[in-house]
Amino acid sequence: MSVQTLTVELGARSYPLHIGTGLLSQAGAMISALGRRVVIVSNPVVAQHYLEPLQAALGSSGVRSDAVIVPDGEAHKSWATLYDIHTRLLELRVDRSTLLVALGGGVIGDLTGFAAATYQRGVRFVQIPTTLLAQVDSSVGGKTGVNHPLGKNMIGAFHQPSLVLIDTSTLATLPVREFAAGMAEVIKYGAIRDRAFFDWLETKLEALMARDSDAVAKAVFESCRIKAQIVAADERETGERALLNFGHTFGHAIETASGYGVWLHGEAVGTGMVIAAALSRRVSGLSQPDEQRLAGLVERVGLPRKPPALPFGRWMELMSVDKKVLAGSIRFIVLEALGSAAVRADVSTEDVAEALRAAA
Which of 252, 281, 323, 331 is catalytic? The answer is 252
Burial class of residue 209 in the structure, from the number of CB atoms within 10 Å of its CB (0-12 exposed, 13-18 middle, 19+ buried): middle
Sequence-distant (≥ 6) Cβ neighbours of residue 232 within 8 angstroms: 8, 9, 10
- Measured between alpha carbons, how far is 347 from 316 in angstroms, rounded to an integer? 12
Per-residue DSSP letters for 75-109? Answer: GG-SHHHHHHHHHHHHHTT--TTPEEEEEESHHHH
**Does the active-site annotation cover 306?**
no
Which of 178, 185, 222, 255 is catalytic? The answer is 185
Which of 76, 77, 124, 143 is catalytic? The answer is 143
Sequence-distant (≥ 6) Cβ neighbours of residue 278 within 8 angstroms: 291, 354, 355, 356, 358, 359
Q: Which residues of 150-184 are buried (b: 16+ CB within 10 A; e: fewer)?
A: ebbbeebeebbbbbbbbbbbbbeebeeebbbbbbb
Which of 265, 323, 324, 331 is catalytic? The answer is 265
The residues facing 128 across adjacent strands are: 103
Q: Count other C-beta atoms under 10 Å from residue 86's C-beta.
A: 17
Sequence-distant (≥ 6) Cβ neighbours of residue 46 within 8 angstroms: 72, 103, 104, 105, 108, 130
Q: Which helix (H) or strand (E) holds 352?
A: helix 349-359
Which of 76, 77, 225, 227 is catalytic? The answer is 227
Q: Which helix (H) or strand (E) holds 304?
A: none
- Measured between alpha carbons, how far is 71 from 45 in angstroms, rounded to an integer? 9
- Measured between alpha carbons, how far is 223 from 182 in angstroms, rounded to an integer? 11
Which of 237, 255, 267, 291 is catalytic? The answer is 237
- Measured between alpha carbons, how far is 4 from 20 in angstroms, rounded to an integer? 6
**Does the active-site annotation cover 241?**
yes
**Does the active-site annotation cover 252?**
yes
**Does the active-site annotation cover 350?**
no
**Does the active-site annotation cover 93?**
no
Which of 188, 248, 323, 331 is catalytic? The answer is 248
Rg of the chain taking only CA atoms, in angstroms: 20
**Does the active-site annotation cover 18?**
no
Which of 88, 241, 323, 324 is catalytic? The answer is 241
**Does the active-site annotation cover 317?**
no
* β-bridge pairing 15-20 and 3-8: antiparallel
**Does the active-site annotation cover 148?**
no
Q: Count other C-beta atoms under 10 Å from residue 72's C-beta.
A: 18
Residues 341, 246: contact at Cβ < 8 Å? yes
Which of 193, 245, 281, 323 is catalytic? The answer is 245
**Does the active-site annotation cover 143?**
yes
**Does the active-site annotation cover 121?**
yes
Give catalytic residue positions: 121, 143, 185, 227, 237, 241, 245, 248, 252, 265
